[in-house]
A and B are shown apart, each in its own frame.
Chain A
């Protein structure tokens, strides 16, 4: 492998800047991480660092961490965090752990970018593949995204899920299907929804396998292999958790049951909490089913329609998850925004970039302000904050929808090259 000095130096600089920036804040400005850990945009009932500390406290003292009804995260996080020295709230070691995870994410994203999967997959090559982002630029875009930094400083445990998802994709793109499935299993074990990424990820693995090997690769065979390894890994994680919890399955209802039944309606940037506060109890199960269906329903359609660019399916799904999850936070959005620059080549085809960006900027500035007005100042009410979350979801949906339009148009322009640069409308 040739060593290209300027790019390596760029990468080294990026990494150094990211590390230094984060560690500086953890070490010398501990109030900022404290503040961010308490913000509802960063920490939700299933990703909050404070709740992790509560669970850790109980775990160390031989009491079931799910006893108090506060901790709803996966059990395997507990041995990991209990091994870290200095588990207090302003400890440097947790900061280092989260910074390292950010860097690992950046590394994996660089691999995805450098593989060129975004511009040319097995079945499709974009006519605009000249403009392509390289790995270092994507790392910069990810590491210095304010949402990423906020998620890292706030020590939200969705960082683990994000790392697992990113590594699943990067391993699928570079042709290690076992590691991809292992990482996906870890992500699904930690939060429930990443399992919906299995179909596009399997397609990615298969595409890579077909491209790499000379003989014919049986699709069904590979599919069954991947499914089997995914379920074996998930089973392994669940059994490990069972043993870590001292031989009890009660963590299932506290973690996955909690995701499914959404009992905690703490405000967050999502759409679920306000709705589920105001509905009548007799309709609760119906609406739980509807909202989960909303989340699940896009997988099949997208996989079939954009089958030729599985990486884009994953990107869009990540965006949709960030909007329609029961407990979204800005870490989920930062994950989606990490994948967006991969499609820099279709940015010119997007129609609503300015509006979507402005709306998202507007919502991310006003959101904390209205939350403060509602909860602390008492001069606003819940509707202020909920309106801003609606606007935020609107901005995100515009971005997701517009990118989907742009990618579909890009595919269509391969068949109709004469329409390049012309206004089109859907009929």
Chain B
């Protein structure tokens, strides 16, 4: 508890790392042997984030099929992402959280929004808080605004958008990087509306994403193009957890001539837009926050005094933020306030004519008088009219 306070204090004091933890959700959505490359995509990313520091307890790996132990695998117990077969992705130290038929749309959305029954173990949950940065990687077969799960169901771009918005409201992430490698991938993030997200996909609408190469002995394609070149950048440029390479560098490395489709990036949901997004480091999403304070030879009371000073700073910051919200001066609120003002004026013009409902059952005497006047007037015109007219 003390250490977390210290970490918080350091976090509040420093402006470089505004997130306090890193999580990764790596999803493959295809089964069957010929979709080998989707699993190897996911496993390559898994190896990358582990290399850059995220522990297994903060990675959720969803693999719908078992390629390593597939009877058609000529190299049993292995999954390769390259025809040179120099690195086995599966081998030792793999922790798959959702396997086989557990990878469903429902489980994926429950995982994101943390809506579980009692008793679901922590290993299957995305235990993020508002300081967590999340990397979400999805791969499989998709189309315009949908992604196919296990050849039997689909998740749509709206499902994803709504799930991420729920996460935003429940403060389940600080910032999120959403990567997707499917056909027509960019359509999947088209409907996102939660803030704090950067999304990138491998191909535009009506474009397919292609596989990179096949291994003749494995017999199927082993990696997809976009993922291949992303991994290429990550392995050659982002060499360690302290790498200063930014997301801007990563997305600038996209080469359409090599990828054979138009990858896209969506910046508009990120606070600060493209400028802020490009300046984020790759390891802010792929690596793990390592906030360490060097204690030195200070006494306990000195440490406590430091804690109290840090806490005071935090309290001041929260009070200031609350005051800003009260006075409607926070940035997000100004937009909604303007919209709200417009809505309320429209409603006012409509509600001005609606009066309170009369709850008694008898008719108002004024209405009765009015009714008698109307009927009487009409009768008078009927009987007396011909005398004066015609």
Interface residues of A, Cβ cutoff 8 Å to B: 59-63, 76, 79-80, 82-83, 176-179, 182, 229, 240, 243-244, 248
Could you tell me if B358 and A61 are in contact, using CB atoms closer than 8 angstroms? yes
Which of B353, B362, B386 contacts A176, CB < 8 Å?
A: B386
Could you tell me if B374 and A178 are in contact, using CB atoms closer than 8 angstroms? no
Give every chain A residue within 8 A of B356 (Cβ-Cβ). 62
Could you tell me if A62 and B358 are in contact, using CB atoms closer than 8 angstroms? yes
- Given the interface pairs A60-B358, A61-B358, the reply to whether A178 lies near B353 with Cβ below 8 Å is no
Could you tell me if B368 and A83 are in contact, using CB atoms closer than 8 angstroms? yes
B385 contacts partner chain A, Cβ-Cβ < 8 Å: yes
Could you tell me if A244 and B370 are in contact, using CB atoms closer than 8 angstroms? yes
B372 contacts partner chain A, Cβ-Cβ < 8 Å: yes
Could you tell me if B368 and A82 are in contact, using CB atoms closer than 8 angstroms? yes
Could you tell me if A79 and B390 are in contact, using CB atoms closer than 8 angstroms? no
Q: In the complex, how many angstroms separate the beta carbon of B369 from the nearest chain A beta carbon?
A: 10
Could you tell me if A178 and B386 are in contact, using CB atoms closer than 8 angstroms? yes
Could you tell me if A60 and B357 are in contact, using CB atoms closer than 8 angstroms? no
Could you tell me if A63 and B367 are in contact, using CB atoms closer than 8 angstroms? no
Could you tell me if A80 and B385 are in contact, using CB atoms closer than 8 angstroms? no
Could you tell me if A76 and B381 are in contact, using CB atoms closer than 8 angstroms? no
Q: In the complex, how many angstroms separate the beta carbon of A391 from the nearest chain B beta carbon?
A: 41
- Identity of the chain B residue whose Cβ is nearest the Cβ of A58 in the assembled complex: B357
Which of B363, B377, B386 contacts A60, CB < 8 Å?
A: B363
Q: In the complex, how many angstroms separate the beta carbon of B133 from the nearest chain A beta carbon?
A: 49
- Given the interface pairs A82-B363, A179-B382, the reply to whether A62 lies near B374 with Cβ below 8 Å is no
Number of interface residues of B (CB under 8 A): 24
Which of B358, B362, B375, B386 contacts A79, CB < 8 Å?
A: B375
Which of B353, B371, B375, B381 contacts A182, CB < 8 Å?
A: B381
B359 contacts partner chain A, Cβ-Cβ < 8 Å: yes
Give every chain B residue within 8 A of A243 (Cβ-Cβ). 370
Give every chain B residue within 8 A of A83 (Cβ-Cβ). 368, 371-372, 375
- Given the interface pairs A60-B363, A62-B358, A182-B385, the reply to whether A176 lies near B370 with Cβ below 8 Å is no
Which of A63, A79, A178, A179 contacts B371, CB < 8 Å?
A: A79
Could you tell me if B389 and A79 are in contact, using CB atoms closer than 8 angstroms? no
When chains A and B are docked, how far (Å) is the Cα of A229 from the Cα of B266?
A: 69
Q: In the complex, how many angstroms separate the beta carbon of B68 from the nearest chain A beta carbon?
A: 55
Secondary structure at chain A's binding surface: helix, strand, loop or mixed?
helix
8 extra interface residue pairs, beta carbon distance < 8 Å, beyond A59-B367, A83-B368, A83-B371: A60-B364, A61-B359, A62-B357, A79-B375, A82-B363, A179-B382, A179-B386, A182-B385
When chains A and B are docked, how far (Å) is the Cα of A62 from the Cα of B362?
A: 11
- Identity of the chain A residue whose Cβ is nearest the Cβ of B367 in the assembled complex: A82
Could you tell me if A60 and B367 are in contact, using CB atoms closer than 8 angstroms? yes
B355 contacts partner chain A, Cβ-Cβ < 8 Å: yes
Q: In the complex, how many angstroms separate the beta carbon of A206 from the nearest chain B beta carbon?
A: 13
When chains A and B are docked, how far (Å) is the Cα of A177 from the Cα of B389?
A: 9
20 A-B pairs, CB-CB below 8 angstroms? A59-B367, A60-B358, A60-B361, A60-B362, A60-B364, A61-B358, A61-B359, A62-B357, A76-B374, A79-B374, A80-B375, A82-B363, A82-B371, A83-B368, A83-B371, A83-B375, A178-B389, A179-B385, A182-B382, A243-B370
Q: In the complex, how many angstroms separate the beta carbon of B144 from the nearest chain A beta carbon?
A: 25
Give every chain B residue within 8 A of A61 (Cβ-Cβ). 357-359
- Identity of the chain A residue whose Cβ is nearest the Cβ of B387 in the assembled complex: A178
Q: In the complex, how many angstroms separate the beta carbon of A380 from the nearest chain B beta carbon?
A: 40
Closest 5 CB pairs of A and B: A79-B371, A62-B358, A61-B358, A178-B390, A178-B389
When chains A and B are docked, how far (Å) is the Cα of A133 from the Cα of B375?
A: 35
When chains A and B are docked, how far (Å) is the Cα of A240 from the Cα of B370?
A: 10
Q: Chain B 338-375, CB within 8 Å of chain A: the 1/0 string?
A: 00000000000000010111110111100110111011
When chains A and B are docked, how far (Å) is the Cα of A244 from the Cα of B386?
A: 26
Most chain A Cβ neighbours within 10 Å, of B353, B368, B371: B371
When chains A and B are docked, how far (Å) is the Cα of A424 from the Cα of B33?
A: 87
- Given the interface pairs A176-B386, A182-B385, the reply to whether A79 lies near B367 with Cβ below 8 Å is yes
- Identity of the chain A residue whose Cβ is nearest the Cβ of B355 in the assembled complex: A62
- Identity of the chain B residue whose Cβ is nearest the Cβ of A205 in the assembled complex: B390
Most chain B Cβ neighbours within 10 Å, of A59, A76, A79, A182: A79
Give every chain A residue within 8 A of B370 (Cβ-Cβ). 79, 243-244
When chains A and B are docked, how far (Å) is the Cα of A179 from the Cα of B250?
A: 88
Which of A60, A63, A176, A240 contacts B374, CB < 8 Å?
A: A240
When chains A and B are docked, how far (Å) is the Cα of A177 from the Cα of B377?
A: 19
When chains A and B are docked, how far (Å) is the Cα of A61 from the Cα of B355?
A: 10
- Identity of the chain A residue whose Cβ is nearest the Cβ of B381 in the assembled complex: A182
- Identity of the chain B residue whose Cβ is nearest the Cβ of A56 in the assembled complex: B363
Give every chain A residue within 8 A of B355 (Cβ-Cβ). 62
- Identity of the chain B residue whose Cβ is nearest the Cβ of A186 in the assembled complex: B378
- Identity of the chain B residue whose Cβ is nearest the Cβ of A171 in the assembled complex: B386
Give every chain B residue within 8 A of A178 (Cβ-Cβ). 385-386, 389-390
When chains A and B are docked, how far (Å) is the Cα of A243 from the Cα of B359?
A: 22
Give every chain B residue within 8 A of A62 (Cβ-Cβ). 355-358, 364
Give every chain B residue within 8 A of A82 (Cβ-Cβ). 363, 367-368, 371
Q: In the complex, how many angstroms separate the beta carbon of B367 from the nearest chain A beta carbon?
A: 7
- Identity of the chain B residue whose Cβ is nearest the Cβ of A84 in the assembled complex: B371
Give every chain B residue within 8 A of A177 (Cβ-Cβ). 390
When chains A and B are docked, how far (Å) is the Cα of A178 from the Cα of B385?
A: 7
Most chain A Cβ neighbours within 10 Å, of B356, B363, B368, B390: B390
When chains A and B are docked, how far (Å) is the Cα of A180 from the Cα of B386?
A: 10
Q: In the complex, how many angstroms separate the beta carbon of B370 from the nearest chain A beta carbon?
A: 6
When chains A and B are docked, how far (Å) is the Cα of A352 from the Cα of B372?
A: 50
- Identity of the chain B residue whose Cβ is nearest the Cβ of A62 in the assembled complex: B358
Give every chain B residue within 8 A of A240 (Cβ-Cβ). 374, 377
Q: In the complex, how many angstroms separate the beta carbon of A33 from the nearest chain B beta carbon?
A: 23
Give every chain A residue within 8 A of B353 (Cβ-Cβ). 248
Q: In the complex, how many angstroms separate the beta carbon of B381 from the nearest chain A beta carbon?
A: 7
When chains A and B are docked, how far (Å) is the Cα of A182 from the Cα of B362?
A: 32
